[in-house]
Every structure is written in C-alpha cells, then in structure tokens.
Amino acid sequence: MSFTFEQYRRSADYILDRLGGFAPKIAMILGSGLGELGDTVENPIVIPYGDIPHFRASTAPGHKGQFVFGTLEGKSVAVMQGRMHHYEGYSYEEVSYAVRVLRLLGCETLIVTNAAGCVRTDWQAGELMLITDHIKMFSESPLRGENIPEFGVRFPDASKLYTPALREVAKEVAREQGITLREGVYFYCYGPQYETPAEIRAARILGGDAVGMSTAPEVIVAAHCGMQVLGFTLLSNMAAGILDQPLSEQEVLDAGRAARAQFSGLVRGCLARM
C-alpha cells in the first residue's frame, strides 16, 4: 500500500499530543534481544504501536512493539522497542513507516541496531559490528512509488547512508571502553527462513560481513528524509554452513542477553557525545 503525507502527519500529531511538549531529537530502533536499553530511559512516556493511527504491529520474538520517549544520557530520545519486518507480511513502506513519523517528530539522528548472522569465519559470535554500508540488491526499495517531496528528492544519493562522523564517534567510544568493534557490511535478506549455506557463500563473495532480515529499509528511508544514521549489529551466531548445527531464534535472543551490558555501554557512550 502507499501512504500519503497526511497519514504520516496524522500519526505524528497523535504522538505529539501524547508527549505534551516533549521533543525527541535522537531516534533508536532496537532489534532482536536488544530492547532492554529502552527500559532504562528516564521519565518514560510509553506509547504502544497499536495506539498510533496507521501503525502496524511488531510480531517478531523479543520485540515489545512500543515507543519509549524520554531522556537517556542527557539526550531527548525516541526509542522503538521492536520494529516491523517484511517477513511479517508488511510492505517495505509499512516496514519503514515509523522512520518518517520520527522525522516529523523532530528526530535528526537515527541509531539502528540488529542481531545478525556472522558471515566472516575469522570473527566470533557475540561480537559487535559497526555497520559501514549495506547490500540490498534483490528486493524493491521502500521509496518505490510516488515520491513524497516533503521528505526528500526522487533519486536520493546512497553513498553515505551510515554517517561517517558518527562512525568515528562509535570507534572512539569502543576504544575507550575496551570493546572489540568490528567494521563491516550488512547483507539484507528477506526471511523469515534463515539463509542457506549457499546464500551465505554468495553474501561473502559479494562483500557481506553479516546477514540479517532488517535495518536496510529503515536506513534508506532515514537517509532520504535527511537523518544522520549510526548502525550496530550484534553478531548473534555464525551464519548457516559455518558450524555444523541448526540455527534458531532462541540462539539470537540468548546472544542479545549476553551482550546487553557491552551493547548498552557502547550506545550510551555514543549518545553522550551527540
């Protein structure tokens, strides 16, 4: 389906009414097993997605499906505890709908996180990866259809989707905290089935370092409407075919819990410098 600017505006106005004057500047989308950071927001205002006009539900495991607005590290934030995925049956426009609403709320920066399979055989499951770029060649764009000029141009540049200056901040924070922060390319696949060993080999040949089922659509839309973007991946498991064992969603959730303190410290450190 196709949304109009008026529908985005209606969603934003509903949220603004609930916020009572609070104005978030930094948005965060927290992926599988990583949503607990939203529970630490100070003076929280919680709005379930189901309350917001034109919003869709988040049904993936480990996704609460709600906004948390408030303060974190002294910054006014809008935290999404859970996202929408194409594999849930949503169009890419529906998957990325919230990003445009966040822009209308006044958010200038987007921090995205996800849990993904590690494609590199010389890296370890449980490590964090700073996203430098992504590959999304085999599916339609979330910008497909009539352009909405209030958000951006018809043919946006995609050479620096992940803001270089923010990546430098993340690397500096990681060094100070003693965190091994890999840098790599996120390879987007549709899901919900995990990738085959052959697909992982193809991703490696094409330049992917981690493979997952989210993030790329939201980042494309964020860049289109002028937001700066910082992206992190939790390498929750070794991708298909690397180890002789089946993949499971429980493995992803367990990895998120194990990395909670390290991930939280890294994101908080970055927030403090924005």
What digits encode the pLDDT tens for the residues 62-111?
668 899 999 999 999 999 998 999 999 999 999 999 999 999 999 999 99
Q: With bands split at pLDDT 50, 70 and 90, how would you rate the model's confidence at 162?
A: very high
The pLDDT value recorded for residue 20 is 94
Q: With bands split at pLDDT 50, 70 and 90, how would you rate the model's confidence at 55?
A: very high
**CA 271 – CA 241 distance, rounded (Å):** 37
Nearest to 81 by CA among 71, 72, 68: 68
Tell me: pLDDT of 146 over 90: yes
What digits encode the pLDDT tens for the residues 221-244?
999 999 999 999 999 888 877 877
Tell me: pLDDT of 184 over 90: yes
**CA 83 – CA 221 distance, rounded (Å):** 14
Nearest to 123 by CA among 17, 177, 204, 58: 204
Residue count (the chain): 274
- Helix and strand tally (H, E) in the chain? 8, 9
Strands (DSSP E) contained in the chain are: 26-30, 42-48, 66-72, 75-81, 109-118, 128-135, 181-188, 210-212, 228-238
The pLDDT value recorded for residue 257 is 74
The pLDDT value recorded for residue 147 is 96
* Domain 5-272 is found in CATH 3.40.50.10190: no
Average pLDDT over residues 8-15: 98
Residue 33, SS3? coil
The pLDDT value recorded for residue 33 is 65
The pLDDT value recorded for residue 1 is 62
**CA 94 – CA 89 distance, rounded (Å):** 10
Nearest to 97 by CA among 132, 52, 32: 52
Range with the poorest average pLDDT among 17-21, 148-152, 193-197, 250-254: 250-254
Residue 42, SS3? strand
**Residue-wise DSSP of 65-104:** -EEEEEEETTEEEEEEES---GGGT--HHHHTHHHHHHHH
Tokens of 7: 């529908």
What digits encode the pLDDT tens for the residues 24-49?
999 999 986 677 888 999 999 999 99
**Block residue for tokens 């500047």:** 25
CB 100 within 8 A of CB 225: yes
Tell me: pLDDT of 153 over 90: yes
The pLDDT value recorded for residue 7 is 97
CB 242 within 8 A of CB 235: no
Tell me: pLDDT of 253 over 80: no
Range with the poorest average pLDDT among 123-127, 167-171, 178-182: 123-127
The pLDDT value recorded for residue 242 is 84
Listed by start position, the domains of the chain span: 5-272
Radius of gyration of the chain (CA): 17
Q: With bands split at pLDDT 50, 70 and 90, how would you rate the model's confidence at 206?
A: very high
Residue 258, SS3? helix
Tell me: pLDDT of 60 over 90: no
